[in-house]
Amino acid sequence: MKELQLLIKPVSSACNLACRYCFYMDEAGHRQVGDCGRMTEETAKIVIEKALAAAQTCVFGFQGGEPALAGLPFFEMFYAWVEKLKKPDQQVYYTLQTNGTLLDEAWLRFLKKTRTLVGLSMDGVRKTHDENRRGRDGEGTFSEVFDTAQRLKQEGIPFHILCVLTAETAARIEAIYRFFMRKGYLCQQYIPCLDPLGDRRGEEPYSLTPALYEEALKKLFDLWYEDKVKGVPVYLRQFENYVDMLLGGQPEACSMYGQCSMQNVIESDGTIYPCDFYALDEYQMGNLTDPELTFEFLQQKANAMEKGSFFETAGKRDDRCPGCRWYPLCRGGCKRDCYRIDGREKNYYCEAFQGFFAYAESRLELLADVRSRGRI
């Protein structure tokens, strides 16, 4: 195996915040065991040993809940064990997705020293952030997160802003983009909000509807495109991926693959799931503390697409996909956004993507042409 990416939940679903739209807390509530506790040192070492035995390049990503709740000593132990076991020719990278409220000066020194890429959750300006991202006391957390963003920037620690697209953020997307740019947060990702499992889409106060998503994508694209042609080094993951795909490249985001792939989501007790959006009992693929379970075997299971498994319908998307002119870029979107209605498979955001690609196609192709000439 050439490369292996892991998404590790060192404290399971535990979090010090109470965000209104938290998809992982929702998933945990649908499992027999919602919170698996803190990952033990023994389990961490097993994960590391099996990962380094499986691949030449390993990306250890940490997410939650809030992974920083595991404590800095846990991460120091984890990184030290990786350094001890990895071969001289192996490459290792680290990412940490965090709400940013627990990162003190000791954390910042560690992240800078280890060159960990930070994904910092910030839902735009104070009003839009505090609407949904609140502490256990019900108070908004914008001030704490903004302070962390400023310190990350000052220390030169690489970080991306992760902004969840909700009804609130989508409606104010222009102000949010301009705020991020004024503050020098040039690497941005905008992530569509998920409604609770089993609920009818679009009925929560924070729900992102197809119409809101389409309008937000168009406004974001206009702003991003204007800055790109000016030579501003701004990076919006989704749009950058579309340009790369037009040049024949492979997208980073799994929702752009056109088929679900093994995402190696590892709960704190070692249980492994195929996808962060399907960390449910029925999709468990085993536990890495089992001496017989390896990452190579898990990949073989994913490739086999066995009947009844998560991967049986790995490539199933909207029934309209095969005849859609936008499929080479859209690839059908995320499986979690697909549902069956009137005997047909449908992607909730299909019309939003159709409207967006029709709007942005010529400019995406122009940027791809410019990039192919090495000018951006």
The catalytic residues are 276
Q: Is 320 helix (H, G, I), strand (E, B) or coil?
A: coil
Which secondary-structure segment (H or E) carries 163? strand 159-165
Q: Which of 7, 348, 341, 75 is nearest to 194 (CA)?
A: 348
Query: Which residues contact residue 323 at a Cβ distance below 8 angstroms, ignoring those fewer than 6 apart?
Result: none
The dihedrals phi and psi of 117, each to the nearest 5 degrees, come to: -80, 125
Q: How far apart are CA 348 and CA 337, in angstroms?
A: 6
Give the gyration radius of the chain's Cα atoms: 20
| CA 126 distance to own-chain centroid | 22
Q: Is 37 helix (H, G, I), strand (E, B) or coil?
A: coil
Residue 277 and residue 334 in contact, taking contact as beta carbons nearer than 8 Å = yes
| Omega before 65 within 30 of 0, i.e. cis | yes
The dihedrals phi and psi of 58, each to the nearest 5 degrees, come to: -125, 135
The dihedrals phi and psi of 70, each to the nearest 5 degrees, come to: -70, -20
Which tokens belong to 341? 């209605």
Q: How far apart are CA 19 and CA 135, in angstroms?
A: 7
Q: How far apart are CA 303 and CA 289, in angstroms?
A: 22
Dihedral angle of Cα 217, 18, 267, 54, to the nearest 10 degrees: 40
Question: Between the CA of residue 210 and those of 219, 338, 351, 357, 360, what are the distances in Å?
Answer: 14, 13, 7, 14, 17
Q: Which of 34, 316, 12 is nearest to 197 (CA)?
A: 34
Q: How far apart are CA 233 and CA 112, in angstroms?
A: 22
Residue labelled with tokens 């309209």: 320
